[in-house]
Amino acid sequence: MTSDRWLADTRASYDTVAADYADHVRDLLDRTPYERAVLALFAGLVTSAGGGPVADVGCGSGRITAHLRDLGVDAFGIDLSPTMIDVARREHPGLHFEVGSMTHLDIDDASVAGLIAWYSLIHVPDDEVDRVLEHFRRVLRPGGTLLLGFHVGDETRLKTCGYGGHPMKVYVHLRRAGHLTERLDAAGFTVQARMSLSSAESSRGAVLLARRRPAR
């Protein structure tokens, strides 16, 4: 599948389900204490390193962006779906959200102190992951913190029915933490923590915390 095709399908799918997706996840952090702890750790790492802007890439309806702001982080959100960004702006007025793709991040080099992709890398095909991670490294400051949330496994699933029963056409790629760790290392990151999480967020979830290594 070409990059244009899967991006177009993902955009159209989330445009279709945006309102119902926001309803589904709005209070999810209230039921996921371990995820809240990981987000607090991420916020603390960014703050202790001097703070600065944090990009929530694949922000959806903006719930993680808003939660990070509540934790004192200068977070802003980016999402592929224009309708999802409209929902995020309505749900969290005063916060900054913009339409964009993690495959072509419109962010200046070394300009963000942290970057989070919370269950958004899951839609990126294997042959595009390295390019995405290169963008993540490019926009992060040396020493900046990256947080990835993802579903664990070895398969790819086609999701055809989504939130609210609306039709979707998105591929969900499950990956092993060790596999992503290797690809992060090759992209110029050092993984500092790896955790498995099973909760309302994901029955087989995991997170990786990594730092951008300085250029050699």
| Domain enclosing residue 122, as ranges | 3-154+174-212
Q: What is the pLDDT of residue 215?
A: 76
Domain presence at residue 102: yes
Q: What is the largest CA-CA distance in the chain?
A: 50
Tokens of 133: 């991670």
Domain presence at residue 114: yes
Domain presence at residue 90: yes
Q: How far apart are CA 28 and CA 22, in angstroms?
A: 10
Secondary structure (3-state) at 204: coil
Helix (H) or strand (E) holding 8: helix 3-25
Tokens of 188: 């110029």
* Number of domains present in the structure of the chain: 1
Closest to 29 (Cα-Cα) out of 132, 152, 137, 119: 119
At which residue do the structure tokens 């999701």 appear?
159
Domain presence at residue 136: yes
Domain presence at residue 168: no
* Per-residue confidence in pLDDT tens, the chain, 216 aa: 556 899 999 999 999 999 999 999 999 999 999 999 999 999 999 999 999 999 999 999 999 999 999 999 999 999 999 999 999 999 999 999 999 999 999 999 999 999 999 999 999 999 999 999 999 999 999 999 999 999 999 999 999 998 888 999 999 999 999 999 999 999 999 999 999 999 999 999 999 999 999 876
Pairing between β-strand 74-79 and β-strand 53-57 as defined by DSSP bridges: parallel
Closest to 73 (Cα-Cα) out of 104, 101, 95: 95
Q: What is the pLDDT of residue 1?
A: 54
Domain CATH for 119: 3.40.50.150
Q: What is the pLDDT of residue 60?
A: 97
